[in-house]
Amino acid sequence: MRSRWRRGGDADVNPASTRPPTRAARLAGYVESVFSSVPARRAPGSSSQPAGGLATTHLTPAAQPAVSPDRAPEGWFGARSSDLSAVPPVIDVIRLLVLIMVLVTVPLAKPHLGDGPRGIGVAVALGICVIGWGFWMRARQRYHLMIGSLTVMAAAGGVLAGLSPESPAVAIGCMVTSAAGSRLSVKTSLAITGETMAAFLITGLIAGAPAGTLAGYCGAFIGLWAFGLTRRAYLLRAEEAEQALVQTRRAHAAVMEATALAERARIAREIHDVLAHSLAAVSVNLQAAEGLLGELPDDSPELAKALECVERAGTFTREGMAEARRAILALRDGGGDAASAAPRPLAEQLRSLAEGYGADGGTPVEFTVTGEPRPVTAEAGLTVYRTAQEALTNARKHAPGQPVTLTLEFTPSQVTVDILNPLPPADAPRPLAGAGTGYGLIGLQERAALGGGSLIAGPAGGQWRVSLRMPA
């Protein structure tokens, strides 16, 4: 069976081949990626793959950061990392100072402005340079305006330096060549540098400038152009380093998320294997005990009480299995029918919980609702319910037979639940005090903190109080 592949790179190498690409192709891609035009590479709709064949990494839409095109992240030197043609404000200040220096010093040198043909030429060239300089500083991300202004300044600056070699007029040509090398492609910047040198040499030879001045200024133009190329390569490498760092952070976040999902799946399996199976076994045994007790004579009130307790324990077991199933679905990032079912109102859930506690322990619970009942978030409702459930269980274990007060209060910004029961005498029997692990209240405090609430539990005025406040 023939595999489908297209030619590219090495002419007849299948993409599935283990043969590495040729070194020449890799070097060509490297050089092209470094010296290609920065604004052209960043222009909308342009391809991000260099012409030499060096492919770049493309992220899926889900992995791309949620940054609007108008607000890219800040990069090196205060410029946007997605646009190296942006210039930090300090560079604009330096350019303006250089222009002011030229405007102040050139008229003071010979020939003076308007003094003969050379003076008129100096005045015209200086005016053209000032106009081109203004357009250049306003070019910013407009690539064609940048090229046009630098081209005009290259010709006018070279003529100005040739007509006034004894003044700082050469600074204009130096600024043009360095800016072209750092902002434009190699071919374009080389053409602008050549234009500057040609205009300077022709004008200098006609004006009779010394040979040393001609050679020195040309060397300065070439050196600053090379400096611009070096800075441009550095900027590109800095941007690539920033992009690599961003991609590394995304990959690390993806790994952490995958690790968290795997841990949640492991916990879900443990809950299913341990808790669900144990509750199922307890339910089966309760059903068997209920059947055996049902066969005995029913003339004993203790027997009827035992049957009622077994039936209620079976109900609790089935409810516990349902809650364990919902917890497993939530841990597995699903939900299914359990997530789609609308939960009961919080006041109704706590009322049912209080009635079940009173029926099971024989001690009624005084349940009160204050404020206007309203829907709360799922996290806040579950935290309130678990807190009331744990507090009632602790009251049954540590203060059996003592009355319990359960109060649910709704305010515009939060929901509060208070559970109060009198402290039992020191010598009161507590047969269930040793049951449990002792981490119930600690877990509730952690749950409340995760939801932005607070939990207080402890003795207060001869009573044990559990108070939870949750934003909702």
Q: What is the pLDDT of residues 135-168, one digit of tens each?
A: 888 887 788 888 999 999 999 999 998 898 888 8
Cα–Cα dist 155/124, whole Å: 12
Give me the helix-helix angle, 23-35 and 211-270, nearest 10°.
Answer: 110
**Is 367:453 a contact under the CB 8 Å cutoff?**
no
Beta strands in 278-403 (DSSP E): 365-370
pLDDT at 333: 60
DSSP 8-state code for residue 71: S
pLDDT band at 216 (very low <50, low <70, confident <90, very high): very high
The answer to whether residue 249 scores a pLDDT higher than 90 is: yes
The pLDDT assigned to 313 comes to: 74
> What's the chain's Rg over C-alpha atoms?
41
Q: Are 327 and 279 in contact, with CB atoms under 8 Å apart?
A: no
Q: What is the pLDDT of residue 340?
A: 44
- Single-letter amino acid code for the residue at 404: V
Length of the chain in residues, anyone?
472
- What pLDDT is stored for residue 80 in this prediction? 37
Kind of pairing, strands 414-422 and 365-370? unpaired
Mean residue pLDDT of the chain comes to 75
pLDDT at 370: 93
Mapped onto helix, strand or coil, the DSSP state of residue 360 is: helix
Q: Is 11 helix (H, G, I), strand (E, B) or coil?
A: coil
Is the domain spanning 343-471 CATH 3.30.565.10? The answer is yes
Is residue 232 within 8 Å of residue 182, measured between CB atoms?
yes
- Cα separation, 210 vs 98, in Å, equals 25
List, for residues 408-453, the tens digit of each pLDDT value. 999 999 999 999 998 887 776 665 555 555 677 888 888 899 889 9
For the chain, what percentages of helix, strand and coil (3-state, to nearest 5) are there?
Answer: 60, 10, 30
- Annotate 296-313 with DSSP letters as a single string: S-S--HHHHHHHHHHHHH
Distance of CA 429 to the CA centre of its chain: 57
pLDDT confidence of 39, banded at 50, 70, 90? very low
Domain ranges of the chain: 89-251, 343-471
Please tell me the pTM assigned to this model.
0.43
3-state secondary structure 119-146: HHHHHHHHHHHHHHHHHHHHHCCCHHHH
pLDDT in tens, 84-137: 445 677 877 888 888 888 888 888 888 887 778 888 988 999 999 989 888 888
CB distance 138 to 178 below 8 Å: no
Q: Is the pLDDT of residue 3 over 50?
A: no
367 closest CA partner among 333, 403, 393, 336: 403
pLDDT band with cut points at 50, 70 and 90 for residue 270: confident
Query: Once rounded to an integer, what is the mean pLDDT over residues 318-323?
Result: 72
Which pLDDT band holds residue 253 (cuts at 50, 70, 90)? very high
Q: Which DSSP string corresponds to 281-297?
A: HHHHHHHHHHHHHHTS-
| Between 276 and 344, the higher pLDDT residue | 344
Alpha-carbon distance 237 to 359, whole Å? 74
Q: Calculate mean pLDDT across residues 184-189.
A: 90
30-39, 215-224, 264-273, 438-447: which range is least confident on average? 30-39
Answer yes or no: is pLDDT of 248 > 70. Answer: yes
Strand partners, 455: 468
CA atoms of 264 and 248, how far apart (whole Å): 24
